[in-house]
Amino acid sequence: MTKVTWEAWLTLVVVALTIATLVTERISPTFAVLGAVVVLLVTGVIEPEQAFSGFSNEAPITVAALYVLAAGVERTGALERVASTLLREDKKGGSGGIGSMARVLGPTAVSSAFLNNTTIVAMVAPAVLTWARRTGRSPSPYLLPLSFAAILGGVVTLIGTSTNLVVSGLLSEAGEEPLGLFEIGRAGLPVALAGLALLLFLGPRLLPVRRAPSEEYREDARQFTVEMVVSANSPLAHNTVAEGGLRSLEGVFLIEIERDGRRIAPVPPTEVLAGGDRLIFAGNVSRIVDLQRIPGLSSAEERHYTKLDAGAQRQFFEAVVAEGSSLAGSTLKDTGFRGRYGGAVVAVHRAGERVPGKLGEVRLRPGDVLLVLGESGFRRRWRHEPDFLLIASLDGGAPPRREKAPIVGVVLLAVLVLAATGLMSILDLSLLAAVAIVALGVLTPNQARNAVDLNVIVLIAASFGLGAALQESGLAESLASGLVSIFDPFGDLGLLLGVLLATIILTEMITNNAAAVLMFPIAFATATQAGLEPRGFAIAVAIGASASFLSPIGYQTNTMVYGMGGYRFMDFPRVGFPLTIVVIVLAAIFIPLSWPLS
């Protein structure tokens, strides 16, 4: 037993205080970890090059570049289109039970294997929420399994989650080979497949249906009128209104179809849709905004969208026509609204009646509320002008730039192919992809910069300094000795399970990246003391740090869906506990098979 030095005791106190701070969430995780590193630096436990080694490590740089790539996918609505297509009702109007769940969870897990899983949930969850609102369903049976599926997909490849990149970076720092793109999948793929099967067949039985805040809908809400067009290659074309799911929309109603100069009203559910049909909807403003994201439907005013500044940040506004406004008594076409105001009118609300005819031909009245898609400066420029009584910004993103989706698809495919063949490193590929996304006009430089979560990047980089302190002070070696003494009677597999369990417990209390950085030096020292190969122990840390299924606070994706689905705290362990058992059992089987411990 090695003597415990004062540096080790100090590091233990700092680490304990850091964990307590992370658990209580009194200050941000980034500041807590960075503060701990600064304390250890000024007290002489670590040197400056050790404290800030993470800022030159490839892991945080790679994560930052992948944030930009993921933002490009989000900006073009590529995954949103897939999610909406998968969630579309079948010809009989049903949701399919396990079938619809499989159509959501399977692609989510696959996507999460190649894009950051937090970003995947951020893109897919709103699509699930929108679908649930349109069809009058509760989103709670889908959102929690969606988060868990994204976590499971993240353990299949190196780039599935930032935690894998952190562990790979730590392996490199320790003088070992970094992880290959699909290396973690030797154990992660069986874990993911078994976990998805459990979610599909056991999840619906264990998870109660909750009412989400987004399901609140007032029948007396203001009714906007909007005109949409069925595109020529739309999946809605040649389907009836009912088959296309347009009959069962929640909070929005199809009131008229215009086809070749002929008007169809009221619209029967058996009416077959055709490319070029102009559909007139009436509904709540938030549901009207949702319509902009249905694949195969586009606003009749979309030709004006592309004429707005492509590089500007766009959003929705409500603008009220003022008494005496030059707009009153005129049509949008007559006033040249887009050229004059720099915005496109998507829908119109008129108190007491529905607005008839094409929006561009409607004569506006004082008090009419216009739903305008404009640049972020629209309100600032026009709020004091006499044409508008009031301009208010709305929550909800602008329609995606689908014309750029093929560019993002090519870039993403190139990254995956080149990474899989080993022709270029993940770092080089991710940086080139980020540059391409900006250079090809998918994102502006400002949008790319805003896509990077600097808190996460700094947290990852600072965590390397904390891991260095554990090693330099001898604390990792001391903790490893304790772990060996406890689990050594159970053999090599017992030691591996000890590391895995400790990592799972820690990641439920603090962030997954911080858990990985704290456990890695302990796991490495445990393997070294026992005379075992450390690589399998590193994989156990990577999988354990991602296996956060027991609480809504251990992993970002869980926290994201917690409020969206109206869940209670105990909903997570109700489904997460059996899932955690599956992870432990399969990791204990496949890690030793793929990376022999001795």
What sign does the dihedral 419-423-425-429 (CA atoms) show?
negative
Give the per-residue pLDDT at 216. 44
Residue 191 in contact with residue 580, Cβ under 8 Å? Answer: no
- Per-residue pLDDT averaged across 171-187, rounded? 89
* pLDDT more than 70, % of the chain: 80
Return the minimum-mean-pLDDT range out of 248-257, 340-349, 585-594.
248-257
580 pLDDT band (50/70/90 cuts)?
Answer: very high
Cis peptide before 366 (omega within 30 of 0): no
Give the per-residue pLDDT at 351. 61
- Inform me whether the pLDDT recorded for 358 exceeds 90: no
- Per-residue pLDDT averaged across 246-273, rounded? 80
Encode 251-307 in three state secondary structure.
CEEEEEEEECCEEECCCCCCCECCCCCEEEEEECHHHHHHHCCCCCEEECCHHHHCC
Give the per-residue pLDDT at 25. 59
Give the per-residue pLDDT at 560. 65
- Per-residue pLDDT averaged across 568-573, rounded? 82
CA angle 464, 60, 441 (to 5 degrees): 170
Numbered ranges of CATH 3.30.70.1450 in the chain: 219-283+294-399
**Helices marked H in 174-213:** 185-201, 203-206
* 186-225 b/e (C-beta count within 10 Å ≥ 16 → b): bbbbbbbebbbebbbeebbeebeebebebbeeeeeeebbb
- Inform me whether the pLDDT recorded for 304 exceeds 90: no
Q: Which amino acid is at 437?
A: I
Residue 554 in contact with residue 509, Cβ under 8 Å? Answer: yes
Query: For tokens 């009058």, what's the residue?
Result: 136
199 pLDDT band (50/70/90 cuts)?
Answer: very high
Q: Which residues pair with 369 in a beta bridge?
A: 320, 349
DSSP letter (8 states) at residue 309: -
Tokens of 291: 């319509």
Give the per-residue pLDDT at 432. 92
pLDDT by residue (tens digit) across 228-237? 888 888 888 8
496 pLDDT band (50/70/90 cuts)?
Answer: very high
Query: For tokens 């897919």, what's the residue?
Result: 124
> What pTM does this model have?
0.61
Return the minimum-mean-pLDDT range out of 21-30, 259-268, 473-482, 536-545.
21-30
- Inform me whether the pLDDT recorded for 489 exceeds 70: yes
- Per-residue pLDDT averaged across 478-485, rounded? 74
- Inform me whether the pLDDT recorded for 96 exceeds 50: no
pLDDT by residue (tens digit) across 409-418? 888 888 878 8
291 pLDDT band (50/70/90 cuts)?
Answer: confident
- Inform me whether the pLDDT recorded for 211 exceeds 50: yes
Give the per-residue pLDDT at 193. 96
CA angle 28, 32, 38 (to 5 degrees): 140
- Collect all residues with Cβ–Cβ distance below 8 Å to 279 and sequence separation of at least 6: 227, 228, 229, 230, 246, 254, 256, 257, 297
Give the per-residue pLDDT at 220. 42
Give the per-residue pLDDT at 460. 74
Give the per-residue pLDDT at 219. 41
Task: Provide the CATH number for the domain formed by 219-283+294-399 in this structure.
Answer: 3.30.70.1450
Most confident region among 80-94, 106-120, 188-202, 432-446 by mean pLDDT: 188-202
* pLDDT more than 90, % of the chain: 13
- Collect all residues with Cβ–Cβ distance below 8 Å to 230 and sequence separation of at least 6: 236, 237, 273, 274, 275, 276, 277, 279, 296, 297
Give the per-residue pLDDT at 353. 62
